[in-house]
A and B are shown apart, each in its own frame.
Chain A
Amino acid sequence: MTDWLTYNSLIVLQGVTLLGACSGVIGCFAVLRRRSLVGDALAHASLPGVCLAYLIIGEKHFFAMLIGAFLSGLLGIGFLAILRKFTRIKEDAGIAILLSVFFGAGIVLRSVIQQMPASGRAGLDSFIFGHSAGIVQSDVHWITGLSAGTLLIVLLCYKEFRLVAFDPEFAQVQGWPARLLDFALMLLLLGAVVIGLPAVGILLMAAMLIIPAAAARFWTQRFSFLLLLSAGAGMGSGIVGTILSAKFGVPTGACIILVCAAFFFISLLFAPGRGVVARILARQRNNLALQAQMKAGEEPPP
């Protein structure tokens, strides 16, 4: 009955919990900085790196594939920067170009790998669709270390990152290296994407960044709570999604994202203050109170 709750699945759960927290927190910055689509593009841009790492090492080596993903994402960031600096191509068009060109290159490399006799190419597809059950203990060490590192950096530079995300020009006038901090945020975004890939997959990684942040936004107006709630939503959907996926034998990434989406719709409907239900109720209550006042012939409040 509880055969899915093995030692290895506990290990996996530890991994997805941390990576959920990580994408929840970094996702907030991405959404507020209007970089949700950049997250999607970076996820897709990582595929050629993953494939090249596989080709070079000759087998599925978890950390090498993460490094490959990171490097090719870095190339993607450079590509966007060059487009912005030297052409007048609009940001969204640039992102679309990056996403499709890099992903296309990745698909070509993947088919090269699939024509090779070597086994273990399933490891590649787990990066595309997300497959946390394939994650083993040594992988989780990497995920844990990298997530913890990312969260620590955010904790340390909380004030600086928030300032740059809100008003980069003011930050620069105040003497902060605003460009550098902004680039650091971009690197953390790439980091969160890369960490999440093995469990969530390239195709759905952007949702993992955006949806927890969007759901959390319904519950709070404070930045610190937003980060905490979003981290919580990311962790929650990581855990529940992984368990459901193991139980029903469906891809992990999809399960995690569906749980995320459930969190989002619950927030959309039922969050106090900003949720749909709360808004409708508040409007009715206010209208009734005002109508009663009008009937009583009172003056409007100042």
Chain B
Amino acid sequence: MNAMHTVDSSAAPTIKHAVKVPILDVHDVTVAYHRKPVLWDIDLTLTQPCLLGIVGPNGAGKSTLIKAILGLVPLVSGSVQIFGQPVTSQRKRIGYVPQRESVDWEFPVSVLDVVLMGTYGSLGWFRRPGATEKAWARQCLDMVGLRDLEDRQIGQLSGGQQQRTFLARALAQQADVYFMDEPFAGVDAATERAIFSLLVNLREQGKTVLVVHHDLRTVPAYFDQVALLNVRLVGSGPTATVFNEGNLRQTYGGRLAVLETLSQAVEAQERTK
């Protein structure tokens, strides 16, 4: 028995090299707060760079899924690998945009300070960001159109500008996989388009972006892959096949309020086809 196990595990790497290493591999992940399961047996594998929309009702566990992948909440069971390695060894390749409410915006730092935090990972211990880092951070601010506000204290920004500050910080990380928790929350239509074109840019550079998204109508236009989540993973895969009325009903239950949006969403999907 034991011997077989040893053979198995030593043979595994060679097989993995033959097959392409998945960008993200979430395997049987279950997460609970106290005794209440919030994610149940999630399997999700991404082998190709993509824009993935994570969709589901409030409290479905979308934020928790991202936190579980990033190692911010303990797993009850299951495992997560990024580029075939444990997350802890891939930190430099991960970018993160947390939900806006997760920090204190009264904190005495400027917009540029926050974006510079994105460069801390590559700086390492004790070294302070210098001219190179500042130039790069300014470039990232340019990409989100906040260059003029770099000296503002972050509490004096509008919600959309705060969101873009976080986005610029993630861009400054120069990651290969980005995890974004509701980057479109509370932004106006123009900002939403600007953020979306940034995501497309990242995608074109061969990066993978996972985005928690609430607006069902724009899902088919924005994402080539979707994951429908409600504690369990109802479905995941190419938007064209997975994002259909049956799956959406299963994700959102029979809730009347969303049914209208659902049909709109499906209509929008038909149109993009």
Contacts and interface: CB of A to CB of B under 8 A. Distances in A.
B53 interface: no
Nearest to A159: B128
Contacts of B126: 156-157, 159-160
B108 A226 contact: yes
A292 to B, nearest CB: 26
Interface in A1-35: 32
B91 A174 contact: yes
Contacts of A169: 67, 72, 96, 98, 102
Chain A binding site: helix, strand, loop or mixed by DSSP?
helix
Nearest to B113: A223
Given A166-B104, A222-B108, 4 more contacts: A157-B126, A166-B114, A167-B102, A167-B103
A110 interface: no
A170 B110 contact: no
20 contacts: A32-B104, A157-B126, A159-B120, A159-B123, A159-B127, A163-B120, A166-B104, A166-B107, A167-B98, A169-B67, A169-B98, A169-B102, A170-B117, A172-B70, A173-B94, A174-B120, A175-B88, A175-B91, A221-B108, A222-B109
Given A162-B109, A166-B107, A175 B128 contact: no
Interface in A148-186: 156-160, 162-163, 165-167, 169-170, 172-176
B109 A223 contact: yes
B159 interface: no
A179 to B, nearest CB: 11
Interface string A62-87: 00000000000000000000000000
Interface string B110-133: 100110010011010111110000
A217 interface: yes
Interface in B215-254: none
B203 interface: no
Contacts of A217: 108
Contacts of A137: none
Interface string B169-201: 100010000000000000000000000000000
B134 interface: no
B153 interface: yes
Interface in A176-223: 176, 217, 220-223
A223 B112 CA distance: 13
Contact of A173 (B96, B104, B127, B153): B96
